[in-house]
Amino acid sequence: MAKVISFINYKGGVGKTTTTFHVGCGLAMFEPKKKVLLIDADPQTNLTFLCADFAQWEKQVADVGSLETVYSAYLKSERKSLHDLVWHRPMTRPELANIDLVPSTIELLDIDLRLQSRTKAATTIQEVAQIHLDQRSILLRAIEEVSSDYDYILIDCPPNLYLATQNALYASDGYLVTLMPDHFSTVGVNFLDRKIKQLLRERNLSEQIVNPASDGMRELPYFLCFVKVNVTAGRMQLVAKEQMATVRSSALFSKKVFESRTDDYKDIREATTEQLPVYLNSPGSQNDSLYREMTKEFRSKFPLS
Ligand SMILES: Nc1ncnc2c1ncn2[C@@H]1O[C@H](COP(=O)(O)OP(=O)(O)OP(=O)(O)O)[C@@H](O)[C@H]1O
Ligand SMILES: [Mg+2]
């Protein structure tokens, strides 16, 4: 069974997509090579367009579908497995042959409204709990049939904690929060931590209500990693250093922060434009080695069982 990890932060522009892509490519490219499925859960479709160009994506979505197909099927009381939706080898470079993708579309944008408008009235606490679980387990059930085809399944979440992200969380064996070393991110990570843990508690509670015999106290392993670290002339800026130290020394996160980090450097933007990971677009560059380190640490922090 694959290990499913979500890349989460309700803040926008903090490197979720770029990190999902680079860790995914790293896992697939470097020994021991792993089979990786990338799932784009964000209606912005950024991860999708890191892997494929517009014309290919249009054809794929028209012929096969996208992640939104899973939710549409649920709304029609049907079930759609990712098995029928996976885009095999969307990237042509042979080094990236171990990567498959479930692409996204803009239609995922109003999935919360669509799910809520179809919510049946519940009369008992058990029904409320069952609906709560059902609406957040759509992706989990869709992943089940492909899980044995992969080593890692990485989910790129949108910058919010609404239902698409909650579905990702319910489907995950763990999650990674990407953080920028600035004041807002440092303050926000405490709120984010509290909110995610609350969402997981709500799941546990719903599971216990629906099935009192269940061991409803599951927690998810999680880590934080710093990306887009400001570096000038090869040296980390003081503010970045201080913000990173603040998070690393806090009681809550001291054991949770990756040792590795990646930098805000032009090699990432150049690689993104070429729809390639830095490993292939600018080997030997700053983020080539930094993202290799991060991939290595990801393997050890989220080991395969
Ligand atoms: N080391 C780095 N790691 C990740 N992103 C970086 C890095 N350096 C620069 N960036 C840039 O930061 C920008 C935002 O990254 P990205 O789109 O991955 O963030 P995001 O959190 O997924 O955003 P959104 O919340 O909108 O989905 C991109 O332009 C990316 O190229
Ligand atoms: Mg993104």
Domain carrying residue 86: 3-301
pLDDT tens per residue across span 29-47: 999 999 999 999 999 999 9
pLDDT tens per residue across span 45-97: 999 999 999 999 999 999 999 999 999 999 999 989 899 999 999 999 999 99
Give the percent of the chain with pLDDT over 90.
88
Q: Whose CA is nearest to atom 9 of ligand 1?
A: 264
CATH code of the domain in which 226 resides: 3.40.50.300
The Cα angle at residue 188 between residues 271 and 11, in degrees rounded to 5: 40
**Stretch 223-248: mean pLDDT:** 93
Cα–Cα distance between 277 and 290 in angstroms, integer? 12
Which residues line ligand 1 at a C-beta cut-off of 6 Å?
12-19, 42, 44, 46, 159, 227-228, 262-264, 268-269, 272, 287
Q: Which residue has the higher pLDDT, 112 or 5?
A: 5
Give the percent of the chain with pLDDT over 70.
99
Ligand showing the shortest atom-to-Cα distance for residue 270:
1
Tally of CB atoms within 10 A around 126: 14
Q: Whose CA is nearest to atom 5 of ligand 1?
A: 15
- CA–centroid distance, 60 to ligand 1, in Å, is 25
The pocket of ion ligand 2, defined by CB under 5 A, consists of 16-17, 46
- CA–centroid distance, 183 to ligand 1, in Å, is 17
Per-residue pLDDT at 219: 85
- CA–centroid distance, 205 to ligand 2, in Å, is 30
Mean pLDDT for the chain overall: 95
Per the CB < 8 A criterion, the answer to whether 139 and 41 are in contact is yes
Confidence label for 20 from pLDDT (cuts 50, 70 and 90): very high
Per-residue pLDDT at 233: 79
Confidence label for 216 from pLDDT (cuts 50, 70 and 90): low
Pocket test for ligand 1, best of 19, 108, 228 (most atoms within 8 A of CB): 228
How many domains does the structure of the chain reveal?
1
Confidence label for 120 from pLDDT (cuts 50, 70 and 90): confident
pLDDT tens per residue across span 173-190: 999 999 999 999 888 999
Residue-by-residue DSSP string for the chain = --EEEEEE-SSSSSSHHHHHHHHHHHHHHSSSP--EEEEE--TT-HHHHHHS-HHHHHHHHHHT--HHHHHHHHHTT----GGGT-B---S-SGGGTTEEEE---GGGGGHHHHHHHTPPP--SHHHHHHHHHHHHSHHHHHHHTTGGG-SEEEEE--SS-SHHHHHHHHH-SEEEEEE-SSHHHHHHHHHHHHHHHHHHHHHHHHHHHH-TTS-------EEEEEEEE-EETTEE-HHHHHHHHHHHHSTTTTTTEEEEEEE--HHHHHHHHTTS-HHHHSTTSHHHHHHHHHHHHHHHHS---
